[in-house]
Structure 1
Amino acid sequence: MQFQVRGWGARQWIAFATIGFGSLFLVIGLIMAGVSASFLSDAQRARGTVVALEWRDDHSSASRKHRANNQPVAYPVVEFTPADGTRQTFRNSTGSNPPSYEEGERVEVLYRADSPGDARINGFASLWLLPLIFSGIGVLFAGIGTTVALWRRGRS
């Protein structure tokens, strides 16, 4: 099967759709960055300890097809004591293989004073990796679409 786009109008729509897709991802990335920045501005800090690594295997077939290896991912389970003195435990939302943290490792924990269960490890991946990925994809696609639209416009 061969897909061929004919005419300037169809190419223009594809360029604008690419710009729209990229802009959507960029907006999502910027919103996620704003959520992380808001969390940081209100967050309390505490020392925590990685008490376990929770290994998870992603069983979705779509995800397995795209991952280079089908190995499980380690999510650090962290224990800390917030200012109110009640011991809290949480599983970090970001995992990796090989693990980024080891059992017994001391980490800085960021948490909301009104909700100590809403906690994260103070690290780049926990706070900024997803906003960076979404924003990067957005800039890439919006840039490609804009370049194609401007190139097509210059040729006509």
Structure 2
Amino acid sequence: MAIDASWRRIALVILGIGSLIAAGGVLMGLSSLRYVLLGERADGVVAEVVREGGLYAPVVRFRLPDGESLEVRELGSGAPDFSVGDAVTVLYLPESPHDFRVDTFERLWLVPVVVAGFGGFCLMFGAVAWALSHNADLALVGERAFTVVSLSALFIGVFVLWSAVDLYAGGGRARGTVAEIRESRSMVAEEVTGPGGGAVRRDAVSITFVPVVRFTTPEGREVEFHGRGGSETALAPGDVVNVVYDRNRPGRARIMSFTDLWLPAATFFVVAMFFGLAVRLSRWNRRRATSRSSRSIP
């Protein structure tokens, strides 16, 4: 009973945290929905991309129905998702035109979806802990949790692959130059074996290298974007690379390589396959155990 009570307390904590995170994602989604339902639409253009530290903030110029021209700055992001000259659709509130959003999936829905999805996974693990506190079959609970992970990874993988195929099939081609390799440092905790053979926990520096690539479109527009980051890179400043980009929004660009175009989708598919195979193996073992038990009964 003590174990069950411990699982119940753990479950309540995880469910509470997951509920708060999921609610935050829903609230952010409702905020974006407010612009879609109540906001006015206007055609705008990216007049400038301001870089402050590691953030890139597009400055958007659009015109109100009365003819007044506004130039407003969007929220910054860690990588440039727009370039100067991009045509965009602006959603603004009539009573406060400076309160606006750029009408793209990334700017409206990506963060709410990620936050709500993370909260959903917390709720799933909380549900697993709650089931364990009620003496549920561990194998059955694990199968259901792994099925959710597998299907979620499969869904995300299909979406990421569709986006990559769409860019590859319909995008323009250009030759780009690696302008710099940007280093991003963060502290991570790791466990190592100490002199006495025991585990020792320590902080280590994790370094990620991100290539910053610049290219010019046939129309003469200069575009800068970030390649996929990693713990190491084979590129160096000055290297020339092949680039594929969205003709309507050149800031949406990728280096023509497996790592940049196809690796994200492949990673999600591998995760989906791994968890799916784990579910199949667990079911096979349970059926085998049931069959042996039935044969042993006289």
- TM-score scaled by length of structure 1: 0.80
Q: 1:75 matched to which residue of 2?
A: 57
Q: 2:15 matched to which residue of 1?
A: 19
Q: Percent identity?
A: 28
Please state how far the C-alpha of 1:83 moved relative to its aligned partner.
Answer: 1.1
TM-aligned CA distance change 1:94 to 1:136, over 3 Å: farther
Query: 1-side partners of 2:81 and 2:30: how far apart?
Result: 25
Q: Deviations over 1:51-98 (max 9, x none)?
A: 1111122xxxxxxxxxxxxxx12111111111122111111125241x
Greater Rg over alpha carbons, structure: 2
Give the counterpart of 2:72 among 73, 90, 94: 90
Aligned runs of 1:1-12 on 2, under 5 Å? 7-12=3-8
Matched position secondary structure for 2:135: helix
Aligned runs of 1:22-61 on 2, under 5 Å? 22-57=18-53
Query: 2-side partners of 1:9 and 1:152: how far apart?
Result: 7
Query: 1-side partners of 2:42 and 2:95: how far apart?
Result: 14
Query: 2-side partners of 1:7 and 1:154: how far apart?
Result: 10
Query: 2-side partners of 1:82 and 1:23: how far apart?
Result: 40
2:147 aligned with 1:151, yes or no?
no
Q: Deviations over 1:17-70 (max 9, x none)?
A: 00110011111111111121122111111111111111122xxxxxxxxxxxxx
- TM-score scaled by length of structure 2: 0.43
- After the TM superposition, which parts of structure 1 deviate over 6 Å for at least 4 consecutive aligned residues? none
Q: Which runs of 5+ in 1 are unaligned?
A: 1-5, 58-71
Q: Which runs of 5+ in 2 are unaligned?
A: 138-298
Q: 2:119 matched to which residue of 1?
A: 138
Answer whether contact 1:51 1:78 (CA < 8 A) is retained.
Answer: yes
Which one scores higher on RCO, CA 8 angstroms, separation ≥ 6?
1
Query: 2-side partners of 1:94 and 1:13: how far apart?
Result: 40
Query: 2-side partners of 1:131 and 1:32: how far apart?
Result: 5
Structure number with higher strand proportion = 2
Answer whether contact 1:76 1:95 (CA < 8 A) is retained.
Answer: no
Answer whether contact 2:61 2:70 (CA < 8 A) is retained.
Answer: yes
**What value does the CA root-mean-square deviation take over the aligned residues?**
1.7
